Amino acid sequence: MTTHRALPVRRRGTYEQSVLVLGAAQLGSAYGIANTTGMPDDRSIRRLLRVAAELGVTHVDTAREYGESERRIGRVLSSSDGPQLRVITKVAPLMTGSADPAAARSVVEASVRASLAELGARRPLTVLLHRAADAAAGGGAGWERLREYLEAGVADRIGVSIQSPDELRRVIDLPDLGYLQLPCNVLDRRWLSDEISTALSARHDLVVTVRSVYLQGLLAAGRGVAWPHLPDQRRDQIVAALDAMAAALGRADRIDLCVAYVLSLPWVTSVVVGVEAEVQLRRNAALASRPPLSSTERERLLAAIPEVPADLVDPSRWRG
């Protein structure tokens, strides 16, 4: 199988991260609307992590909520010949609305302790709150506990996984915020306002990693699956428009276009993409290694793609 040059690495302050981060939700459960192969076995996970490191991936992204993911990653990374991958994890969700600082601290402490044990961490972790609402739980006591882990060197960055621009507004001024994870893709225009772009671009030290670059697999599957909150005819029109723009802009295909678009946003550090198989990992690494769209190409693409309902671009609204 052919290889390609090592993945580009982007720097935010003293923190360096490859433009592709390996998402590990699929390593702990059969995750994803377009997942057809289920959860990889232990041998496949070992191979995936080794290949990721060989391709230049610097980080793997997991969470306490991702089933067996931390344990299975830790078993590989803590072995004597384990690949040199850094770990980003998310604490277990706090009790939203709780006013008890001790309870919030306790949840964070128990979660970080469990992550360290299962991952067998040899290096500091990047630790995120799994929900924006958790930053306010217990009067902010959970966040303050993360700051203590940062000061002690247990964490090298702390941050928050957010869902929307409204959540960004609520967390952007948290003290010591160094990392954000958010959902964005070629159909999602919520992050393009001058206000949001300015707030993110102004923080040169802030790592912003984008998940859902393929909209939970919908953009990759195209016409192959039903799209929530969108009629099939409308779905087919959007897929056709994306395919046409991929050809017009000299991209290999729709998937290439999706990655090139997100990595062209000036405030984006990396994309995090989950895989179930080595061929997917290699494909995503090859795409992330290509030059992103220019600003002119990005504007041309946005002008050609019709807007879609907010209920489609926000996976948290897909249930019900």
Q: Say if residue 258's pLDDT is above 50.
A: yes
Q: Say if residue 3's pLDDT is above 50.
A: no
Which residue type sits at 236?
D
Whole-angstrom Cα distance, residue 258 to residue 264? 10
Give backbone dihedrals phi and psi of 109, rounded to 5 degrees, phi first.
-60, -45
User: In this structure, is residue 309 part of a structural domain?
Assistant: no
User: In this structure, is residue 228 part of a structural domain?
Assistant: no
Q: Where are any strands of DSSP class E within 168-317? A: 177-183, 207-211, 270-274
Domain that holds residue 201: 9-221+265-291
Torsion 304-281-68-140 (CA) sign: negative
Look at the block and give the residue holding tokens 């997942």.
Answer: 35
pLDDT score for 178: 98
Residue 287: which CATH number?
Answer: 3.20.20.100
User: In this structure, is residue 317 part of a structural domain?
Assistant: no
In DSSP terms, which residues pair with 161 in a beta bridge? 181
Average pLDDT over residues 278-296: 97
CB of 59 closer than 8 Å to CB of 84: no
Q: Any residues with CB less than 8 A from the CB of 120 and at least 6 apart, and which?
A: 74, 75, 77, 78
User: In this structure, is residue 159 part of a structural domain?
Assistant: yes
Whole-angstrom Cα distance, residue 298 to residue 292? 9
User: In this structure, is residue 313 part of a structural domain?
Assistant: no
Q: What is the number of domains present in the chain?
A: 1
Q: State the pLDDT confidence band at 245, using cuts at 50, 70 and 90.
A: very high
Q: Say if residue 2's pLDDT is above 80.
A: no
User: In this structure, is residue 231 part of a structural domain?
Assistant: no
Q: State the pLDDT confidence band at 33, using cuts at 50, 70 and 90.
A: very low
Q: Say if residue 34's pLDDT is above 50.
A: no
- The chain-wide mean pLDDT, for the chain, equals 92
User: In this structure, is residue 56 part of a structural domain?
Assistant: yes
User: What does the pLDDT look like over 197-238, one tens digit per residue?
Assistant: 999 999 999 999 999 999 999 999 999 999 999 999 999 999
User: In this structure, is residue 287 part of a structural domain?
Assistant: yes
